Amino acid sequence: MTLRVGISGYGLAGRYFHAPLLKGAGFEISGVLTTSEERRAQALADFPETTVTATMPELLDLGLDLLVVASANVAHATDAIAGLRAGVPVVVDKPMGRSLQETQEIIDVSKEIGVTVTTYFNRLFDSDALTVKKIIAEGALGKVFRLDSRFERFRPGSNPKSWREANSAADGGGNLLDLGPHLVSLALNWFGPAEVTYASVRSIRGLSDDDIVINLKHASGVDSYLSASAIIGADGPRIRLSGTNGSLVIADLDYQEARLREGQYPAGGYWTPPAITPAFIHRGDEIIEYPGEPGNYSLFYSQVGEAILGKSPWPVTPEDALAVAKIIDQARAISIR
């Protein structure tokens, strides 16, 4: 059975982080919602058989099995609730809501209607994320006590035309809502529940927040030091995971993003060649390569497809989405104090 999906929004997220992966996982891109003539042309070039609509009711009238909300953050709740009330399961690009309250509102509608909503924490399927889970399970680092996880870039010139960079947090802009959910969802997935012990959320370039730090203390005993910045001239390693028997260091960002931006997609649900980010165990002067796991964002949508058919659980639960939203809210509140 081929599942029919509609995508709301066909910008960076819709075109490069959802459509190719849905295609790889075997979904039919039945409809795309956009009011931009440029993006309409792109959608038809990418999927000539799709139907491009200008309104949500038109999209939902296409007989969908799944709605993917890849619109701007400010529209996530409106789009998701429209899909749920139409009886269509929904995937919302991160963040599900701009706040814990908005996230809860979406989930409350899902429970009221009895239709599932999930959120797109695709970084759970990064090569580095799966490698971290593997090394924790193996115990190769001994007792793990500290995580350093970061998304750092150097873009000194801000873009006032980008809603992610220019919009206020209330309108869904800023790094805390853009990259913060990735950092937090990964830390919680690896080490369980946590509370914020320190947070700094600020704007360096004069637009929305572009330099954030969140420190977490997990009930499991691990401390997580999370950073997302657009203005770091010497970025640190993507991951440094430290235990009593050494540190796992993964320097580079997962390669899937670059491949998707180049127009590639995981045909048949798998990348060829596999997307493996180099990983190394450091023990002082001793450095040995550690076999990394292949990353695959398409696995998210493969699991979504199985869940729609009742064959497996959804990849991200409402409780997962709420836990991340709670920490994002805590970080902003602590930073303001």
Note whether 187 and 147 are within 8 A (CB). Answer: yes
The predicted pLDDT at position 158 comes to: 85
∠ at Cα 105 (203, 218), nearest 5°? 60
For the chain, the domains span 4-120+305-314, 123-296
Mean pLDDT for the stretch of residues 10-19: 96
Task: Name the H helices within 207-337.
Answer: 256-261, 298-308, 318-336
Structure tokens, 183: 């950092």
CATH homologous superfamily for the domain 123-296: Dihydrodipicolinate Reductase; domain 2 (3.30.360.10)
* Mean of per-residue pLDDT scores for the chain: 97
pLDDT above 80 (res 313): yes
Structure tokens, 250: 């993964």
Tell me how far apart the 2 most distant CA atoms of the chain are, in Å. 62
Q: Cα-flanking dihedrals φ and ψ of residue 115, to 5°?
A: -120, 135
Structure tokens, 307: 């869940």
The predicted pLDDT at position 269 comes to: 94
Q: Beta-carbon neighbour count of residue 288 at 10 Å? A: 9
Regarding pTM above 0.75, the answer is yes
How far is the C-alpha of 237 from the C-alpha of 298, rounded, in Å? 25
* Fold adopted by 4-120+305-314: Rossmann fold (3.40.50)
Question: Sign of dihedral through CA atoms 327, 333, 336, 337?
Answer: negative
Contacts of 262 (CB under 8 A, 6+ apart): none
pLDDT above 90 (res 305): yes
Note whether 69 and 8 are within 8 A (CB). Answer: yes
Mean pLDDT for the stretch of residues 159-163: 87
Beta bridge partners of 198: 215
pLDDT digits (tens, 9 = 90+) for 43-55: 999 999 999 999 9
Note whether 107 and 257 are within 8 A (CB). Answer: no
Question: Do 4-120+305-314 and 123-296 show the same overall fold?
Answer: no
Structure tokens, 327: 């920490």
pLDDT digits (tens, 9 = 90+) for 90-111: 999 999 999 999 999 999 999 9
- The phi-psi region of residue 212 (left if phi > 0; otherwise alpha if psi is between -120 and 50; otherwise beta) is beta
pLDDT above 80 (res 337): no
Note whether 268 and 23 are within 8 A (CB). Answer: no
Answer whether the bond into residue 266 is a cis peptide, omega within 30°.
Answer: no
The predicted pLDDT at position 289 comes to: 98
Give the end-to-end CA distance of the chain in Å, rounded to a whole number: 53
Mean pLDDT for the stretch of residues 192-216: 97
